[in-house]
Amino acid sequence: MILHKISTSPFTHLALEHCLLRLHSSDGLLLTQDAVYGLRHQSLYSKLSELRCVYVLKEDAHARGVAVENDKIQLVDYAEFVELSLEYEKVMSW
């Protein structure tokens, strides 16, 4: 039950890819900062869509004009991010 927090763009950095390799089915994935561009990544997007718990930080997505057009991906604001960090047992920052 780990919340994996990614903050770099998958087009430049491998953090998201490396995280996906090791993600457990009970883990959650939170895209923040430039990682929200992951929603525009063709091959990774299909992988993200298959996951159970993917969250995108609303403020960071809105700032970058990245829209979430997938019911399975949840937009969370900072207040929800705080609660999410408590729902999971720990948070790993990639």
Partner 1 sequence: MSQSTTSIAIINKSAPYGSSNGQESLDMALAMSNFAQDVSVFFMDDGVFQLLLPQDPTTIDAKAYYKTFPALEFYDIENIYVCKQSLIQRSIQTSQLCIPVTLMEFDDLSKLLAKQQHLMSF
Partner 2 sequence: MASFTLLVTSAPFSEQSAYSAYRFALAAAQAKHSINGIFFYQSGTLNGSSLQITPSNEFDLYSAWKKLSQQYQVPLMVCVSAASKRGITTAEDAQDSDNPHFSLAAPFESVGLGELATLISNSDRLLQF
* 24 in Cβ contact with 50 (< 8 Å): no
Nearest distance from C-beta of residue 75 to partner 2, angstroms: 15
Residue type, 62: H
The answer to whether 9 contacts partner 2 (rule: CB under 8 A) is: no
Residue numbers 27-86 binding partner 1 by CB under 8 A: 27
> Of how many residues is the chain composed?
94
Question: One symbol per residue from 24 to 63: x for binding partner 2 (CB under 8 A), - otherwise; what is it?
Answer: --------xxx------------------------xx---
- Whole-angstrom distance, CA of residue 94 vs CA of residue 92: 6
Residue ranges that bind partner 2, judged by CB under 8 A: 5, 7, 32-34, 59-60, 77-79, 81-83, 85-86, 90-91, 93
Q: Which residues bind partner 1 (CB under 8 A)?
A: 1-2, 14, 18, 21-24, 26-27, 89-94
